[in-house]
Amino acid sequence: MAKKKTPKTEIPDRFTPQAITDTLELNYMPYAMSVIVSRAIPQIDGFKPAHRKLLYTMYKMGLMSGARTKSTNVVGQTMKLNPHGDQTIYETMVRLTRGNDALLHPFVDSKGNFGKQYSRDMAFAASRYTEVKLDAFCQTIFKDIDKNTVEFTDNFDGTMQEPVLFPTTFPNVLVTPNQGIAVSMASNICSFNLGEICRGTIAYIKNNDVDLTEYIKAPDFSTGGELIYNKKEIEQIYETGRGSFKVRAKYRYDKKQSLIEIYEIPYSTNIESIIDKVIQLVKTNKIKEINDIRNETDLKGLKIAIDIKRTADPEHLMDKLFKLTPLCDSFSCNFNILVDGTPKVMGIREILKEWTAFRSDCIKKRTAYDLDKKKEQYHLLSGLERILLDIDLAIAIIRETETEDMVIPNLMEGFNIDEAQAEYIAEIKLRNLNKEYLLNKIKNREQLEKDIAELQGILSSEAKVRNLICKDLREIDKKFGKDRRTDIIYAEDVKVISDDELIKDYPISLFLTAGNYFKKITHASLRMSGEHRLKEDDIIVQSIETTNKAELLMFSNKQNVYKVKAYELEECKTNSMGQYLNNILPLDSDEAILFMLATTDYSGEIIFAFENGKATRVSVENYKTKLNRKKMINAFSGTSPLIGAVHINGTEDVVFIRDDKKTMLISSELISLKTTRTSQGIQVFTLKRNSKLSKILKAEDFTVNKKTAYKRTKLPSTGASPRDEDNTFFEGLNL
């Protein structure tokens, strides 16, 4: 029977087929570029568009001086430039405020609750309750903005003009921290100390090959802390713009109260994350020295209080907390900055190069603007000088002119001046048409000539432009520079606590049951407890005494070995059933653990015994791996079912017992050591038809009256039948 043809799906007329590459190019790429250029990545002035629109709005509102205004007023006005929603604008403002503590040098002077950079849960108040104005520090970013120093562009609806960049008088891009995630790229710029940046920039302008680390020591954060200085890491960041470094919290210890107070934390974390992690460590018994932890942050500043036990060592405890919690955190740098509309990852030297070029251009444009104004003023005064020759004529011309629109042409003709000069003269008040006033005005021409010459000199000299940049930087350093908040400590002076030191070592007992249950019990708990609680018909098949730092090898009936750290397993009491191994190991549903081994150094050997009467001896070293593998397959031979295994150190006696209770005791030397884990070994027991090997024991666990009666020196062997006085022991084996 012929197959029916599947009808082709017809594409409706309203849909036009389009190649995916064309869709990406026409739709996705413009979106991606918009996010990169207009939203997420800062430009060379150190601002993203959202920051710039907000601050410029406040500047135009006259908030550089005078009283604060409600934040909601600023948010409303900013929407004329930024139509992305009032909450987004307000959140942008919050980060720029003095109250939020996110910046070393805030741009917004604030009043009210603006939350805190170092708190995840401390929410800022609504915009109708808070008040803001521009901080005095904004003088450094708005200087000469009205002198054509930067380009302006239309806002989103073409009704207003806004600056493309701010003419920042210092490398703000390195002083104000910035983080942004765009499409297929991101930016993460840490903050540096303003004074160090100013001095480093001056040194760079004078000598491009200067060692910047001599001036710019290391990043500096508003939340303080201690930066762990590694010279190679810092040099890599300075050269490439990529890399990471660590910052840790500052603390003090009150011995009388057994109290640790943390008062500065890394910039990249927050109070709540730290407290949550500490609580988790305490609950999982990874840290036992802490009684309580509290957030005591108030108007005086950040404070995390940790009550510790009287016997605890505060320094050792803090070393552990630095390793296990965000009290020591990494900051990953990615100095990705937009330069002329193109994202570029740069080191500090290259950033200073780009900023210097940008600032030079700003100064040249400002100088050209001032020069035009001076020339214009000089030109007007030149026309005024001609009036001085015959003031009476000027008055007569104006008085005798019949119509207003002829005043300017008549003055132009009477004194041979141009329209601008005539307009200037016509606007002089009658009371000022006297010789003294005019002479005083004309005297300004001498100063104007000097100013014009000076401005022309600046435009023609790169050295003078650089000197002006350095002059601004020195003034900013003097006026706004502050001491470092983040202290520098050297990596070689920091104690690095090893993973082994984090683990408390103490003796433990491990128990494995036939039902695949596992118990880890401390010796103290074992002494105080009664009988083991087990599931019905379940029995304990193996017990081990070891330490909490041991590594456990658990061998399953599917020739797998699972590796787990003893300290990772939960402690329990004898009156609990323990942990079901299928819940803590990735076992198959029909997989069971037959034997477990505890080791701290992978010393000794394992003797595996199989139902077919064979046994093999393998070094424990064969199960040691360089990688932290949790599971190893082909752990032993699968030719015959494994009935048991024992761990020996050196030459020891072991006991093999058949299902008919025939037994033999031999030296482990009789079983040759194999180099491969999956070796079938040698025949140790001679078996009859339908008989099998059932048990392997260490000689110390073979508690019969006369062990020598079962001793054998050659293999294979049929073993010895149980002696009558040993029947009690064999009956307890449950063969």
CB within 8 A of 480, min separation 6: which ones?
A: 105, 137, 140, 194
| Cα R_g (the chain), whole angstroms | 42
Beta bridge partners of 259: 254, 307
Catalytic residue among 129, 263, 602, 710: 129
CA distance 78 to 50: 9
Torsion of CA 31, 37, 38, 42, to 10 degrees: 140
Residue 25 is classified by DSSP as I
Whether 238 is catalytic is: no
630 near 586, Cβ under 8 Å? yes
The DSSP result for 202-250, as a single string, is HHHHH-TT--GGGT--SB--TT--EEEE-HHHHHHHHHHSEEEEEEE-E
Residues contacting residue 475 through CB under 8 Å, at least 6 positions apart: none
Euclidean distance between CA atoms 203 and 206, whole angstroms: 5
221: nearest Cα among 328, 103, 79: 103
Contacts for 537 with CB less than 8 Å, ≥ 6 apart:
515
CA angle 467, 165, 466 (to 5 degrees): 10
Mode of pairing for the β-strands spanning 673-674 and 614-619 = parallel
Instruction: Name the 3-class secondary structure at 480.
Output: helix
Let me know: does 262 contact 306? Beta carbons within 8 Å. Answer: yes
Within the chain, how many helices (H) and strands (E) appear? 20, 33
Q: What are phi and psi of 393, to 5 degrees?
A: -65, -40
- β-strands 342-345, 242-248 pairing: unpaired
Q: Indicate the pairing of strand 561-565 with strand 631-632.
A: antiparallel
Amino acid at residue number 39: R
Distance CA 254, CA 39 (A): 47
So which residues are the catalytic ones? 129
